[in-house]
Amino acid sequence: MENGTFTRQEIFSQPEAWAAALQVLDKTRRNILSLKPHRRYREIIFTGCGSTYYLSMAAAALTQDLTGIAVRAFPASELWLSPRSSYTDGKTLLVAVSRSGETTETLRACEAFLKDKRGTLLTLSCYGDMPLAKMGSLNIVLPSGQERSVAQTRAFSTLYLSIVALACLWARREELYASLSELPEAGTRLLNNYTSLAAELGGDASIDRFYWLGSGPRQGLACELSLKMKEMSLSHSEPFHFMEFRHGPKSMITPSALTLGLLSTVNGQKESAVLKDVKALGGRVLDIAEAGAQVRFESGLDEAVRNVLYLPVGQMIAFERSISKGLNPDRPTNLDTVVKL
């Protein structure tokens, strides 16, 4: 089988996976609403490991933005091993996210949370027969996110989109929740329109480092895309908040550096100014946005619900670079599908 067979199929089948996940959420919406986070909890905490920790970061920022509830994200290892510097003393809604549902740190963090009676556990995972899917007061299982390759792509975007739906429901934003059904078509357009650009950038051996800039609900997504580039292609890759890039990291800009900006609408001008600075230093730039960028969603959707669209093109660039280096993104070097301790 040729390198990347599974990863390619998983990247290109994301729109169908998203549609299937939204159907699962629709069937679960009464249970989701019955958690009543505004009334019952002092805060919400999202947790996971690796990709699903970065997913938790993105989910926390978006959920707080939409609901007004205090929301934080921690790696599961922090909740497990350093609970006193992680939890507050109030009742917590813990949302544990895991593709496999069997990552040891995530299971230990949830076991300790329940033993210490800190609040209520909600889980999101892709395999209903795995331990995590049996631990929560509510367990949301998304089989369409299941994957055979190690580096998460379809699993990540499907789990992330499911949390966007959760946040819309908790925020009582019915119109935003309803608009999620337009995302699969927007995702298919992106995958079709930018395949050649991704192949061109991924295959460009003159690029030797990647910087991914994203702020607010997009910072966790920038971290995830940077991890994809590392895992799949063994490249030097780092994420930063947009405005943070000027405070030191920009010293690394050379003509061999590609800086990818996940531009928002709300702060697009200030974020574009950072990319302009990068270009002035001789660095290469790729901007990704709803409109007016090299990669354009043109979804017509509200900013709060279209962040998942930043993922496909970044995933494809990492995939293409892996293939062009003769690597196999289905089996990244040194990595296992699940970390079991």
337 near ligand F1P, rule: CB under 6 A: yes
20 near ligand F1P, rule: CB under 6 A: no
CB within 8 A of 189, min separation 6: which ones? 298
The two structure tokens encoding residue 228: 């994809």
Residues facing 239 on adjacent strands: 212
Q: Give whichever of 4 and 283 is closer to ligand F1P, judged by the CB atom.
A: 4
Least Å from the CB of residue 67 to ligand F1P: 24
Q: Give whichever of 15 and 50 is closer to ligand F1P, judged by the CB atom.
A: 50
Spatial contact of 208 and 325, defined as CB atoms under 8 Å apart: no
Candidates 14, 28, 47, 52: give the one binding ligand F1P (CB under 6 A): 52
Least Å from the CB of residue 134 to ligand F1P: 15
Helix (H) or strand (E) holding 44: strand 43-48
Least Å from the CB of residue 35 to ligand F1P: 22
DSSP state of 272: H
Q: Residue 219: which of 245, 198, 189 has the closest Cα?
A: 245
User: How far apart, in whole angstroms, are the C-alpha atoms of residue 292 and residue 66?
Assistant: 25
327 near ligand F1P, rule: CB under 6 A: no
- How many residues sit close enough to ligand F1P to count as binding (CB under 6 A)? 17
Q: Give whichever of 98 and 264 is closer to ligand F1P, judged by the CB atom.
A: 98
Determine the residue type at 218: R
Strand order in the sheet with 295-296: 236-240, 209-213, 257-262, 284-289, 295-296
51 near ligand F1P, rule: CB under 6 A: yes
Q: Give whichever of 77 and 92 is closer to ligand F1P, judged by the CB atom.
A: 77
- Among 63-71, 256-264, 275-283, 332-340, the segment contacting ligand F1P (CB under 6 A): 332-340
Candidates 15, 50, 119, 220: give the one binding ligand F1P (CB under 6 A): 50
Q: What is the per-residue DSSP string for 199-248?
A: HHHHT-TT--EEEEE--GGGHHHHHHHHHHHHHHH--EEEEE-TGGGGTT
CB within 8 A of 192, min separation 6: which ones? none
49 near ligand F1P, rule: CB under 6 A: yes
**Residue showing tokens 């699969």:** 184
Candidates 77, 98, 144, 264: give the one binding ligand F1P (CB under 6 A): 98
**How far out from the chain centre does Cα 53 lie?**
9
* Interacting residues with ligand F1P between 124 and 163 (CB under 6 A): 150-152
Number of residue whose CB is nearest ligand F1P: 50
Candidates 100, 215, 237, 307: give the one binding ligand F1P (CB under 6 A): 100
Least Å from the CB of residue 2 to ligand F1P: 21
* Interacting residues with ligand F1P between 248 and 307 (CB under 6 A): none
Spatial contact of 47 and 76, defined as CB atoms under 8 Å apart: yes
Which residues form the interface with ligand F1P (CB under 6 A)?
Answer: 48-52, 98-100, 103, 106, 150-152, 335, 337-339
